[in-house]
Amino acid sequence: MMRRLFKRGRSPLKGTFPFKGERPLLMMAVAVLVAAPPAFACDPALEAIVSAKPDDTDSRDALARSCARDGEPQAALLQYDILLARDDNNVDWLLGKAQALIALQRPREALPLLERGREIAPAYEDVWRVNANALESLGQYAGADELLAKAALAFPQSTWPGERRESLAERRLLERGTRLSIDASYEDLSGGRPAWRGATVGIDRPLGTGQRLFAGLHLEERFNTRDEQVWLGFAGRMSQDWSYAVIGDVAADAEVLPEWSLAFETGRGLPGNRSMGFRARHASYLNANVDTLAGTIEQYADWFRVSYTLNVAKTSGIDDPSFAHLIRVAHDYGRDSYVGITLGFGEEAETVAPGVVQVTDTKVVSFNGVHWRSAAWGFSWEAGWYEQGDLYDRIRVRFGLEHRF
């Protein structure tokens, strides 16, 4: 149903599509930088000296450094390999090779070099810094935090270990924190009808490797009756391109919500800063069944995104399917924050009285947003107008709190 498509304000697949392509573009840029030969490979003068005097380690060391400065980590790595073959205890060369490996997106190979460097020269701060970088780039946050704690003790006069620990803690929270959402809604109906009220508690927990488990409880009060609904879902990746989610909910003895429903969603990123998604859902109400298919295409621009969703539903006992359309425009900012507007029109199957599901013409205008004030705390909101055919109009407001821990 149209309202349920954006009622909770956050798709289960949100964050699992490569929508904007920042990471692929970054990786492509790195690959081009590494693969494309520059006009001059490192410093030509130093190359000439090293060619004439291959045993001149000072000149070779300077050449390796010039290669690294000129964005040629592969050439720098070659020089550091030659140098370390002569003296594998030189900490500067161990550090230089580790930095070249990290620049080549091979931080795991750099770890043994950095650990050896710290053993040989425990007071060499740069080795500790690069070691922490390598661990963080590998997603080994616990190891990086432990190393930074040791660095704080080893270098009490330095502020960077503490600052890096704070930054790392925020990054861990953003990428791996469990998200708790609590919200309440109120809908004023025209014609003096009793108001609708709702409350939701949801939890979303990352499981690693792009997988998430989410669950929640929703209470809905309409027409002087109250339904209690529990939902559970799982989201993950089928491949590098495709993401999916499975969501089910149950509301025992429900009169306005489905007694149970099951939905499957899938989507992928597309070239040109686009994404597409599909959704299939079966909902079993007290006296009717509703089967829904939806398709969405989304386009990203510099400072906003716009999407269109076509929703096709078949309600039991009604011969013809119903069609509804949703257009969303949103401005994203910060990390996971946005403000947007949703416009909807078409036909929708909705519970218009306890146990009565009816297809009516609908119109929707809704403003909504999520605003994170820090990595741990944020809030969500919605304010909208809904027209349910000739039956009634609704003014809906919702406010919620978001917390990561």
pLDDT tens by residue, 239-284: 989 999 999 999 998 999 999 999 999 999 999 999 999 999 999 9
pLDDT tens by residue, 294-317: 999 999 998 999 999 999 999 998
Long-range contacts of 84-92 (CB under 8 A, 24+ apart): 86/57, 87/57, 89/120, 91/117, 91/120, 91/121, 91/124, 91/127, 92/61
Residues of the chain within CATH 1.25.40.10 domain(s) are 27-174
pLDDT at 333 over 60: yes
The pLDDT of residue 358 is 86
Instruction: Using DSSP, state whether 79 is helix, strand or coil.
Output: helix
* Average pLDDT in the chain: 90
Largest distance between two CA atoms of the chain: 95
Q: Please tell me what DSSP assigns to residue 389.
A: T
The pLDDT of residue 3 is 46
The pLDDT of residue 12 is 57
Using a pLDDT cut of 90, give the percent of the chain over it. Answer: 81
pLDDT tens by residue, 91-141: 999 999 999 999 999 999 999 999 999 999 999 999 999 999 999 999 999
Architecture category of domain 27-174 in CATH: Alpha Horseshoe (1.25)
The winner for highest mean pLDDT among 249-258, 363-372, 387-396 is: 363-372
Residues of the chain within CATH 2.40.160.40 domain(s) are 2-21+177-404
Q: Which fold has domain 2-21+177-404?
A: Porin (2.40.160)
The pLDDT of residue 28 is 35
The pLDDT of residue 354 is 84
Q: Which of 116, 122, 70 is nearest to 93 (CA)?
A: 116
